[in-house]
Amino acid sequence: MAETKSPIVDIHTHVYPPSYIALLKSRSSIPYIRSFPPSSSLRLVILPAEDTESTSRGRPVGSEYYDINKKIEFMDTHSIDISVISLANPWLDWVPADEAAKAAEGINDEVNEECGKFPGRLFAFATLPLSGGKDVIVKEIARLKKLKYMRGIILGTTGLGKGLDDPELLPIFQALQDAKLPIFLHPHYGLPSSVWGERANDYGHVLPLALGFPLETTIAVTKMILAGVFETVPDLQMILAHSGGTLPFLAGRIESCIEHDAHLKAAGKLGKGRKTVWDVLKKNIYLDAVVYSEVGLKAAIQASGEDRVMFGTDHPFFPPLEEEGGKWASVETNYEAIKGALGGGSKEERAALGGNAMRVLNLDSK
């Protein structure tokens, strides 16, 4: 029997829908879009560390950030069959509390409609109205079940403002578990600028993106583990951006520090029933394959399992610096890492490229 071609699925790919772009253009503090004379070209400024008077202020922003046809073009260029799109950072974290419900409804409906223009090719992770408070968030989670193309939600690391170990988040995690909506956890805030030192502006975006983002994710998930979130909400499913930051590499150290902590022992937190970091990695966590090297990807696969890693691109971020047309080196590097780590043509490679995402995100049902 002829083998059916297995689809390639990109689970880490962003959009700023047109209404969000309009909002960004109306703002003058982060996040915002504007030009900086004498140049007339627009720049998108989103990261706390990049709002500086230098060439590292923001990034050029073109139609690839908001035009859904450009997403499809990019997918075709890179042989991607299906994309699970998500609003890019910083989502709706900054929206005033009384506007959050309406903003999330609007963005989620708009993204769902964009997916409907290309049935079978686009699905999405929704955005939560985090600043609106628990009731508003839980109501939106219930509404998401009625949006045809939604397959989970994207979340930053601040939660309701106090981090993901905040007990007030438990009903929200419970609602997501009950609705079978996985969390795509994505960094934005990095580490405090003081960590990067006086010459940080000389180094462009490298420090916050290469180190700040992955550490932010690692810290957020470690705090959830320490707070016992995965014992309280045992079937919560999370997909971690950037192969879990540094979590696969540091899991052993984190686990050892937990096991040797007298304070945790005295508080009765080391007893039977505790899920270890390894348990959480294998039962609650999926990892994207956006790590740009075979070494990092092998750590991710060893930590969570080859059935728990999923291809991603981070489009429209990391385009080639010179306008070249054609394929993006950032995407090709991730393809190469998957091939190198799992073997070209193997069933494990096919699973990482798309099979795992099809199964976990239920992408067969349109």
Binding footprint of ligand 5CU on the chain (CB under 6 A): 14, 46-47, 88-89, 209, 314, 317
* 38: Cβ contacts below 8 Å, ≥ 6 apart: none
Which is nearer to ligand 5CU, 86 or 131 (by Cβ)?
86
Q: Which residues of 333-363 are buried (b: 16+ CB within 10 A; e: fewer)?
A: ebbebbbebbeeeeebbbbbbbbbbbebbeb
3-state SS, residue 87: strand
What's the min distance (Å) between Cβ of 145 and ligand 5CU? 26
DSSP states along 146-177: TSTTEEEEEE-S-TTTT-TT-GGGHHHHHHHH
Which is nearer to ligand 5CU, 15 or 209 (by Cβ)?
209
What's the min distance (Å) between Cβ of 184 and ligand 5CU? 11
Which is nearer to ligand 5CU, 159 or 312 (by Cβ)?
312
In this structure, what token pair is assigned to residue 325?
């047309």
What's the min distance (Å) between Cβ of 317 and ligand 5CU? 3
The Cα–Cα gap between 252 and 299 comes to 12
What's the min distance (Å) between Cβ of 12 and ligand 5CU? 8
Which is nearer to ligand 5CU, 230 or 317 (by Cβ)?
317
Which is nearer to ligand 5CU, 159 or 319 (by Cβ)?
319
Which is nearer to ligand 5CU, 196 or 230 (by Cβ)?
196
What's the min distance (Å) between Cβ of 155 and ligand 5CU? 13
The Cα–Cα gap between 150 and 352 comes to 21
- Three-state SS annotation for 199-262: CHHHHCCHHHHHHHHHHHHHHHHHHHHHCCHHHHCCCCCEEEHHHHCCHHHHHHHHHHHHHCCH
Question: Could you tell me if 160 and 166 are in contact, meaning their C-beta atoms sit under 8 angstroms apart?
Answer: yes
**What residue number has its CB nearest to ligand 5CU?**
317
What's the min distance (Å) between Cβ of 290 and ligand 5CU? 9
Which is nearer to ligand 5CU, 185 or 229 (by Cβ)?
185
User: Taking the chain, what is the end-to-end CA distance rounded to the nearest angstrom?
Assistant: 26
What's the min distance (Å) between Cβ of 242 and ligand 5CU? 9
The Cα–Cα gap between 125 and 277 comes to 26
- Give the sign of the dihedral formed by CA 39, CA 40, CA 41, CA 42: positive
